């Protein structure tokens, strides 16, 4: 690994003309700052080039594809949804392991060797790969010998998601959970103590009374059952059943259960949320603070690489030429106009070069998605201007853009909803679907007539895309359905289902017309991407529990498609005869394949009836099987769901606490200053402008001459996530620290910027 830097080469080239290597190094820093990557890459030119390759989109997409492939192998392994022979799945897994190993080797070539071996995530990756390989060999040997073999390494698979370089967000989530654990543990122990005390009391009060549950089972007959029953009561799943026998015996016993529920369900569960929320906030803020600091430092390094010292001994600065080359290297698809805009924002005083303070902003500026809206003339206006600019045509355009047009279509949607609700077997109503489809199509065509198509289908126009996709799909599905029906009288249920779903989805659009809903919707949509991190977190935990559950409980409970089958009554297991599990028809809630296991885990997450499920599986195996279900409850419901709630709360509070003025970035101000911006409606939502109705589109046909040909519009979804908001909040705090850090960076820069990399204060990374 070539970890030596090349100061000689750079010295020969001279400080003022920036070499390709310098630009690449600077672009690596800027790109890392832009995407909040914290990688101590080696600064030799070869390593930097390798590093730039490492960060390209294709290898990352491939990596995630192979992780997904590896994870989805569970569907084909015993117990399988689609059974494949073991050699096939193992071959596929071997391929995945190769890809992961390759990626790891690439990473090892990019960063200094000592850094590589100090990083727990790399050690974890190597351990996962080695253990998986070992398991495959053992399994292969045992399988060949005809012995019973267990693929235990499958529980390690989801850890890949956590330990790949890109799993930053996920590692952060796990870290914040780990940091909150000691405090959660205190409350949890007190909570368990409370349950134990109440159980003892319940045992003493009810044991000797000879009460029976509604199933005729003994009531609080031993301590372990009492603890389990009362733990279930905390989750409210067996309320009020667990109380009824005692309450029937005497009304006074209701007091016991009411006190229990008040203390354990209401107070302790709120305290859990409080502790989780508080720790989540605390560590999140600390991590974001470190991220902001690391970003500043990286930009300072990039500046140190690119800076040129003017002849007159003034402040070091970056020339426009270097800056242009850098930006094009960092973001190759950037438009010329956009680059010009960014430069004009950075170089406010038009000096032809920018100083450090202006340069450091670049990472944030690049994160703001600016669209260059060229106010193109409508194609029809170009093709037959006489017709398009005629009075009737102009009148039509005015109509379509009128508020009444939108209201009319909202009314049509409501009428459509009523028609959907009515029985579609009556031919009049069945045919009305064609009318509504025609109306919706007409709406889209009219809007396309008025609005320039590329503007209409711009990436940020969520509702335009939504409408068009839904209507076109519904049209196709309806045609196929009608064709099938008329040809042989046969109707495919699947296609009909799709038609129904599409029809109903169309109704959602009405929400966007109502202002009070739009704000909430936009907040929800904004939270969306971050919920994906929670999706991964849940996936990791679910996968581990699903694989463990399949090994423990596969084949114990069977589902029979034919309800008349005599075995269907007890789910194919005589031990379940007469149990609540079989009586309620929960046979399909089993661990016989990974899909069923996931659905079962969702049901456990929702909590209700989890005691019936756990008792069912305890009945077919052993009482201790309940431990699996209680563990799942503690992990997912008490910890992860609370983190999720904490996250939603925090996102909403940030939304409320920041008003519009805080969010006006430099760039936005500049755009306004240059009067290039598109007029935005004041009544609009206060955070996300990204999702707009087509009503706000810039009509291209009017007064073209008076408007500039080039317009910018900010559609900065990414910049306005919770993280970004927090980062902005902390940037104020960091101003002072930053000045000190700058002094250091300058000192380093005079020596050699390439080696100063190690000084960057990064958050410590570790595996989950």
Touching a copy of itself, residues 518-557 (CB under 8 A)? 519-521, 524
Q: Does 192 bind a copy of itself (CB under 8 A)?
A: no
Q: Is the CB of 466 or the CB of 559 nearer to a copy of itself? A: 559
Angle between helices 391-401 and 427-450 (to 10 degrees): 110
**How near is the Cβ of 595 to a copy of itself at its closest, in Å?**
6
Cβ atoms 765, 38 nearer than 8 A: yes
Contact pattern from residue 645 through residue 664 relative to a copy of itself, giving x for each residue in contact according to CB under 8 A and a dash for the rest: x--xx-xxx--x--------
C-alpha–C-alpha distance, residues 719 and 662, integer Å: 13
Task: Give the nearer residue to a copy of itself in terms of CB position, either 39 or 246.
Answer: 246
For the segment 472-501, give every residue that binds a copy of itself (CB under 8 A).
493, 497, 500-501
Paired strand residues for 713: 371
Which of positions 223-282 make contact with a copy of itself (CB under 8 A)? 223, 236-241, 243-245, 247-248, 251, 254, 258, 261, 265-267, 270-271, 273-275, 277-278
Tokens of 14: 């001279």
Q: In angstroms, what is the minimal distance from the CB of 247 to a copy of itself?
A: 6
339 is a contact residue toward a copy of itself (CB under 8 A): no
CA distances to 458, 465, 502 from 468, in Å: 13, 5, 12
Is 576 among the residues that bind a copy of itself (CB under 8 A)?
no
Q: Which residues touch 433 (CB under 8 Å, ≥6 apart)?
A: 419, 424, 478, 503
The least distance separating a copy of itself from the CB of residue 146, rounded to whole angstroms, comes to 33
Q: Measured from the CB atom, is 368 or 498 closer to a copy of itself?
A: 498
Binding to a copy of itself by residue 189, rule CB under 8 A?
yes
Output 123 or 504, the one with its CB closest to a copy of itself. 504
DSSP string, 600-643: HHHHHHH-TTHHHHHHHHHHHS-TTHHHHHHHHIIIIIIIIHHH
Site for a copy of itself in 393-452 (CB under 8 A): 417, 420-421
Tell me whether residue 133 or residue 271 sits nearer to a copy of itself (CB atom). Answer: 271
Q: Which of 322, 609, 665, 757 binds a copy of itself (CB under 8 A)?
A: 609
Binding mask 66-85 for a copy of itself (x = CB under 8 A): --------------------
Q: Which of 210, 352, 377, 585 binds a copy of itself (CB under 8 A)?
A: 585
Does position 291 interact with a copy of itself (CB under 8 A)? The reply is no
- From the list 99, 166, 177, 159, the residue with the least C-alpha distance to 123 is 159
Q: Which of 149, 329, 406, 504 binds a copy of itself (CB under 8 A)?
A: 504
Q: Which residue, 544, 510, 433, is CA-closest to 478?
A: 433
Count of CA atoms in the C-beta half-sphere (13 A) of 751:
9
Establish if 187 lies at the interface with a copy of itself (CB under 8 A).
Answer: yes
Q: Which residue lies nearer to a copy of itself by CB, 92 or 539?
A: 539
User: CA-CA distance, 223 to 349, in Å (whole number)?
Assistant: 78
Among 193, 387, 399, 457, binds a copy of itself (CB under 8 A): 193
Distances from the Cα of 634 to the Cα of 431, 619, 642, angstroms: 53, 22, 11
Q: With respect to a copy of itself, which residue has the nearer C-beta, 373 or 641?
A: 641
- Closest to a copy of itself by CB, 494 vs 705, is 494
Containing 86, the helix (H) or strand (E) segment is helix 86-110
* Alpha carbon separation from 202 to 215, 262, 264 (Å, rounded): 19, 16, 15
Considering only 29, 116, 581, 586, the residue that binds a copy of itself (CB under 8 A) is 586
Nearer to a copy of itself among residue 161 and residue 202 (C-beta): 202
Stretch of 28-36, 98-106, 506-514, 621-629 lying at the interface with a copy of itself (CB under 8 A): 506-514
Identify which of 728, 714, 718 has the alpha carbon closest to the alpha carbon of residue 671: 714
Pick the closer one to a copy of itself by CB: 476 or 507: 507
On the 0-12 / 13-18 / 19+ scale of CB atoms within 10 A, 412 is: middle
Q: What angle do CA 670, 672, 677 make, to 5 degrees?
A: 115
Does position 503 interact with a copy of itself (CB under 8 A)? The reply is: yes
- How is 480-514 classified by DSSP, letter by letter? HHHHHHHHHS---HHHHHHHHHHHHHHGGGHHHHS
Q: At its nearest, how many Å lie between a copy of itself and the CB of residue 61? A: 25
């Amino acid at each position: 690994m070539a970890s030596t830097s090349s100061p000689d080469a750079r010295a020969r080239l001279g400080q003022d003309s920036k070499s390709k290597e310098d630009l690449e190094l600077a672009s690596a820093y800027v790109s890392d700052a832009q995407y909040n990557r914290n990688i101590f890459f080696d600064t030799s030119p070869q390593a930097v080039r390798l590093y730039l390759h490492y960060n390209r989109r294709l290898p990352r997409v491939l990596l995630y594809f192979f992780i997904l492939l590896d994870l989805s192998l569970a569907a084909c392994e015993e117990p399988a949804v689609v059974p494949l022979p073991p050699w096939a799945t193992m071959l596929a897994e071997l391929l995945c392991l190769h890809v992961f190993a390759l990626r790891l080797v690439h990473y090892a070539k990019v960063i200094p060797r000592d850094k590589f071996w100090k990083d727990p995530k790399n050690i974890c990756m190597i351990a996962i790969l080695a253990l998986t390989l070992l398991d495959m060999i053992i399994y292969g040997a045992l399988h060949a010998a005809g012995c019973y073999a267990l693929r235990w390494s499958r529980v390690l698979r989801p850890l890949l998601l956590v330990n790949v370089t890109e799993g930053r967000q996920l590692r952060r989530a796990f870290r914040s959970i780990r940091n909150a654990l000691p405090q959660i543990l205190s409350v949890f122990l007190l909570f368990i103590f409370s349950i134990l005390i109440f159980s003892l009391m319940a045992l003493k009060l009810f044991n000797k009374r000879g009460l029976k549950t509604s199933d005729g089972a003994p009531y609080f007959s031993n301590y372990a059952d009492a603890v389990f029953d009362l733990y279930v009561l905390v989750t409210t799943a067996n309320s009020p059943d667990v109380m009824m026998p005692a309450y029937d015996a005497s009304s006074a016993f209701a007091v016991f259960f009411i006190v229990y529920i008040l203390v354990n369900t209401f107070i302790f569960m709120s305290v859990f949320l409080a502790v989780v929320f508080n720790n989540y906030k605390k560590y999140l803020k600390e991590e974001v603070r470190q991220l902001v600091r690391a970003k500043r430092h990286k930009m300072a390094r990039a500046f140190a690489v690119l800076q040129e010292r003017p002849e007159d001994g003034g402040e070091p600065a970056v020339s426009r030429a270097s800056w242009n080359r850098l930006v094009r290297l960092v973001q190759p698809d950037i438009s010329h106009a956009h680059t010009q805009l960014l430069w004009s924002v950075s170089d406010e005083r038009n000096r032809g070069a920018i100083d450090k303070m202006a340069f450091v902003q670049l990472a944030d500026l690049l994160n703001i998605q600016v669209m260059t809206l060229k106010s193109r003339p409508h194609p029809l206006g170009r093709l037959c201007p006489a017709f398009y600019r005629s009075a009737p045509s102009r009148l039509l355009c005015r109509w379509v853009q009128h508020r009444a047009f939108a209201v009319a279509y909202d009314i049509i949607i409501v009428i459509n909803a009523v028609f959907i609700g009515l029985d579609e077997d009556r031919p009049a109503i069945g045919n009305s679907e064609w009318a509504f489809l025609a109306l919706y199509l007409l709406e889209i065509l009219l809007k396309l007539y008025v609005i320039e198509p590329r503007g209409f289908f711009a990436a940020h126009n969520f509702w335009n895309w939504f409408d068009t996709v839904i209507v076109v799909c519904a049209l196709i599905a309806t045609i196929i359905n009608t064709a099938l029906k008329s040809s042989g009288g046969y109707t495919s249920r699947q296609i009909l289902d799709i038609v129904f779903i599409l029809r109903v989805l169309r109704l959602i659009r009405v929400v966007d017309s109502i202002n009070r809903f739009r704000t909430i919707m936009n907040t929800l949509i904004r939270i969306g991407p971050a919920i994906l991190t929670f999706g991964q977190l849940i996936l990791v935990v679910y996968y581990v529990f699903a694989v463990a559950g399949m090994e423990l409980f596969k084949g114990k409970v069977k589902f029979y498609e034919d309800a008349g089958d005599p075995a269907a009554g007890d789910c194919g297991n005589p031990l379940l005869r007469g149990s609540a599990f079989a009586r309620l028809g929960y046979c399909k809630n089993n661990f016989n394949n990974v899909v069923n296991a996931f659905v079962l885990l969702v049901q456990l997450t929702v909590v209700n009836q989890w005691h019936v499920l756990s008792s069912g599986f305890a009945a077919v195996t052993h009482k201790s099987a309940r431990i699996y279900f209680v563990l799942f409850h503690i992990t997912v419901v008490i910890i992860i769901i609370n983190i999720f709630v904490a996250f939603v709360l925090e996102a909403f509070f940030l939304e409320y606490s920041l008003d519009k003025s805080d969010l006006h970035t430099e760039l936005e101000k500049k755009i306004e200053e240059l009067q290039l911006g598109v007029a935005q409606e004041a009544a609009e939502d206060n955070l996300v402008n990204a999702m707009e109705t087509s009503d706000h589109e810039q009509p291209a046909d009017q007064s073209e001459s008076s408007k500039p040909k080039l317009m910018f519009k900010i559609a900065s979804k990414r910049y306005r996530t919770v993280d970004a908001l927090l980062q902005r909040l902390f940037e104020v705090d960091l101003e002072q620290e930053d000045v000190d850090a700058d002094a250091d960076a300058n000192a380093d820069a005079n020596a050699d910027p390439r080696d100063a990399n190690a000084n960057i204060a990064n958050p410590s990374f570790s595996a989950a």
